[in-house]
Amino acid sequence: MITKLSNLFVRTLREDPADAEVPSHRWLVRAGYIRRAAPGIYSWLPLGLKVLEKVETIIREEMAAIGAQEVRFPALLPREPYEATGRWTDYGDNIFRIVDRKGADMLLGPTHEEMFTLMVKDLYKSYKDLPLSLYQIQTKYRDEARPRAGLLRGREFIMKDSYSFDVDDAGLEASYDRHRAAYQRIFERLGLDFVIVSAMAGAMGGSRSEEFLAVLENGEDTFVRSPGGYTANVEAVKVAPPAELPIGDAPAMQAFETPQAGSIAAVVEILNRDLPGREWTGADTLKNVLFMVTEPDGKKRPLAVGLPGDREVDAKRLEAAMEPAVAEPFGEDDFKKYPELVVGFMSPVSLDGTRILGKESSTKIEYLVDPRVVTGTHWVTGANVKDQHLTGVTAGRDFTADGVLDVADVRQGDPAPDGSGPLALARGIEMGHIFQLGRKYAEALGLKVLDENGKLVTVTMGSYGVGVSRAVAAVAESTADDKGLNWPLSLAPYHVHVIATGKEVEVFVKAEQIADELSARGLDILFDDRKASPGVKFADSEVMGMPIIVVVGRGLADGVVELRSRATGDKREVPVDEIVSEVIAVAAAGGLQAG
Ligand code: ATP
Ligand code: MG
């Protein structure tokens, strides 16, 4: 197939779009692949659509290979099923809600667990119908708080979502593993450097869950890995608690003066000055941070988090742990409601043993602690009196937390929870997410089948998503350079960009002939037949990013044309009657078998 650039609906831009923060966004817009319609909402132009279709084809092939069948649900959905599972409320401001002319609530689907569950319930009644895997490639809508980076985080985006239905846990495990393997093949074929990490299930519910992250500096996700092979999204890291210590060995509580010590560092300095004999650090202190938690139904409750003073509460870990509720730091007005709390010197307990934090305490504020705060550990913390701190405040003796909340920041060099060595941190973009949902949705919506013994059993489900439009951007992000896009052969809108330069008619005739011959051999050709300067044509070819570039120009008089690689920038002259076989050889080396 040949497309003449003079006919193609495209305009390349010389300037970056004002809101472009990352290379994929900048170049997809500048090269004329996508155009912004509204914040987080994009239109696809011919070049972009071709890449999108190639990504979809890879996904369809791998879904077919595991026996998943393609369907398509509407994007405009009724409220009731989402009400039944609680997600109408849990999704909060993240769903686009619509009221139809009769006043009925509807939504634009953010994900389709409910609809698939109901469809299978409608049609299937027996264990003999299972296992079943269904998928769709479809437009999803989420009113993201922070749409950014073009296609990477849109408010309208394309997702491949599949759902598996099994009669028992072993079946679910097998369906999950099949999807996991298919996802590995998909991301390998997309040419992405990716890791599979343990993930949080979030609003989705369910148990086992993993994410496929493309390793990219501009990613929004932080993940950890250890030399021994532990990997996790930072949100999902579960800190291994240390061994408990005998309470009898703990020192008694003691107050000491800390005038104007408004920070952990200041407290540590005073400790080392006034209580010498050992080296005190921030890790010896217990910091208490207050949050106001808002439940999806709008109810509010206070929460205190106790963690080692050398750590901060990590906003993303907190967000993931609290979801679908939202925790925000206590404001001045919140503190006014608890006059007994002495800001800067907060403590779960006072010197006389009165509990200050915890459901059973005078404030009744729920108190959750970091996993490192185990029974028998003793801490320096506030005295709940201005300018005073306490030493020897011992967990399990002086205070008891209401539970554990694992939301402290995870650092480079922290031990992996499974003992497999120090953690290294890196950034990535979530490309895919697989979940074992279990029976949550089937239970809420009544999806049951008859088992072998004629007994009704609730079906167990998995849910598996790939960001299809995000994948286009992630590949662009990982391959673009300072000149523009740079596609692998498997995803490029065209395999070869043939450029005719100069004014001579013979050059244009020869260039078109080469394009024709390559096309006849099964390659897709973009032919720059425009009356433009060579500089403009070369720049456009670099911005647009086709992997193989053939330049027909002045050298033709000497019987040569130029063959360029977009990826390496290498150029070499090739005799004109060898160019077709040469291009075919380059394509074959890149994994593309031409006819
Ligand atoms: P994220 O953590 O990035 O918000 P998510 O956990 O909400 O994603 P899922 O519900 O697991 O995402 O959706 C499945 C896949 O859809 C994700 O792995 C991602 O590739 C893609 N995706 C999710 N949200 C967006 C978005 N706003 N824009 C583009 N792709 C998205
Ligand atoms: Mg996810």
- Predicted local distance difference test score (pLDDT) of residue 512: 97
Closest C-alpha to ligand 1, atom 3: 430
Q: Do 177 and 70 touch, CB atoms closer than 8 A?
A: no
Of all ligands present, the nearest one to the C-alpha of 464 is 1
Phi and psi torsions of 177, nearest 5°: -65, -35
Measure Cα distances from 80 to 120, 163, 339 in Å. Answer: 17, 20, 44
Pocket test for ligand 1, best of 56, 430, 475 (most atoms within 8 A of CB): 430
**Partners of 253 in the beta sheet?**
none
Closest C-alpha to ligand 1, atom 8: 430
- The pair of structure tokens assigned to 330 is 């206590």
User: If you measure from the C-alpha of residue 467 to the centroid of ligand 1, how many angstroms do you get, rounded to a whole number?
Assistant: 6
- Predicted local distance difference test score (pLDDT) of residue 202: 55
State the 10-residue block means of pLDDT for the chain, 595 residues long: 96 91 95 96 98 98 98 97 93 94 97 97 96 98 92 97 97 97 98 91 68 93 92 90 93 92 90 91 95 92 96 94 92 92 92 93 95 96 94 94 96 94 95 95 96 96 98 97 96 98 92 97 96 95 98 94 96 96 94 78
Closest C-alpha to ligand 1, atom 2: 430
CB-ligand 1 contact for 430 (6 Å cutoff): yes
The full DSSP string for 271-285 is HHHHS-SS---GGGB
Report strand pairing: 525-528 vs 2-4.
parallel
Beta strands in 265-423 (DSSP E): 286-294, 300-308, 326-329, 366-369, 378-382, 388-394, 403-404
Of all ligands present, the nearest one to the C-alpha of 183 is 1
- The pair of structure tokens assigned to 132 is 């079943």
Q: What 3-state class would DSSP assign to 115?
A: helix
C-alpha to C-alpha distance for 366 and 401, rounded to whole angstroms: 8
CB-ligand 1 contact for 205 (6 Å cutoff): no
Q: Do 192 and 431 touch, CB atoms closer than 8 A?
A: yes
User: If you measure from the C-alpha of residue 441 to the centroid of ligand 1, how many angstroms do you get, rounded to a whole number?
Assistant: 20
CB-ligand 1 contact for 545 (6 Å cutoff): no
Note if the pTM is more than 0.95. Answer: no
User: If you measure from the C-alpha of residue 430 to the centroid of ligand 1, how many angstroms do you get, rounded to a whole number?
Assistant: 7
Q: Could you give the residue ranges of the DSSP H alpha helices within 124-253?
A: 169-189
User: If you measure from the C-alpha of residue 450 to the centroid of ligand 1, how many angstroms do you get, rounded to a whole number?
Assistant: 35
| Atom of ligand 1 minimally distant from the CA of 204 | 10
| Atom of ligand 1 minimally distant from the CA of 144 | 27
The full DSSP string for 240-308 is PPPPP--GGGSPPPEEEE-TT--SHHHHHHHHHHHS-SS---GGGBEEEEEEEEE-TTS-EEEEEEEEE
The full DSSP string for 466-525 is EEHHHHHHHHHHHH-BTTB----TTT-S-SEEEEE-SS-HHHHHHHHHHHHHHHHTT--E
- Predicted local distance difference test score (pLDDT) of residue 160: 98
Nearest to 416 by CA among 284, 242, 227, 243: 227
- Predicted local distance difference test score (pLDDT) of residue 205: 53
CB-ligand 1 contact for 465 (6 Å cutoff): yes
- Predicted local distance difference test score (pLDDT) of residue 593: 80
- The pair of structure tokens assigned to 307 is 């963690």
Closest C-alpha to ligand 1, atom 16: 467
CB-ligand 1 contact for 87 (6 Å cutoff): no
- Residue keyed to tokens 């320096």: 380
| Atom of ligand 1 minimally distant from the CA of 471 | 20
CB-ligand 1 contact for 159 (6 Å cutoff): yes
Neighbours of 558 (CB within 10 A): 9
- Predicted local distance difference test score (pLDDT) of residue 21: 85
Residue 226 identity:
S
Closest C-alpha to ligand 1, atom 29: 153
CB-ligand 1 contact for 142 (6 Å cutoff): yes
What residues contact 356, with CB distance under 8 A and at least 6 apart? 340, 341, 346, 347, 348, 349, 350, 362, 363, 384
C-alpha to C-alpha distance for 243 and 377, rounded to whole angstroms: 9
Query: For the CA atoms of 286, 288, 289, 292, what is the dihedral angle to 10 degrees?
Result: 150
- Residue keyed to tokens 């050709």: 525
Q: What 3-state class would DSSP assign to 327?
A: strand
CB-ligand 1 contact for 470 (6 Å cutoff): yes
C-alpha to C-alpha distance for 472 and 34, rounded to whole angstroms: 11
CB-ligand 1 contact for 183 (6 Å cutoff): no
Neighbours of 454 (CB within 10 A): 8
C-alpha to C-alpha distance for 97 and 72, rounded to whole angstroms: 21
CB-ligand 1 contact for 389 (6 Å cutoff): no
- Predicted local distance difference test score (pLDDT) of residue 519: 97
- Surrounding residues of ion ligand 2, Cβ less than 5 A: 433
C-alpha to C-alpha distance for 273 and 129, rounded to whole angstroms: 74
User: Helix count (H) and strand count (E) of the chain?
Assistant: 14, 30
C-alpha to C-alpha distance for 140 and 541, rounded to whole angstroms: 33
C-alpha to C-alpha distance for 519 and 206, rounded to whole angstroms: 50
| Atom of ligand 1 minimally distant from the CA of 159 | 16
Of all ligands present, the nearest one to the C-alpha of 213 is 1
Residue 81 identity:
P
- The pair of structure tokens assigned to 224 is 């950890």
Q: Do 140 and 109 touch, CB atoms closer than 8 A?
A: yes
| Atom of ligand 1 minimally distant from the CA of 202 | 6
CB-ligand 1 contact for 153 (6 Å cutoff): yes
Nearest to 214 by CA among 477, 545, 38, 421: 477
CB-ligand 1 contact for 140 (6 Å cutoff): no
Of all ligands present, the nearest one to the C-alpha of 430 is 1
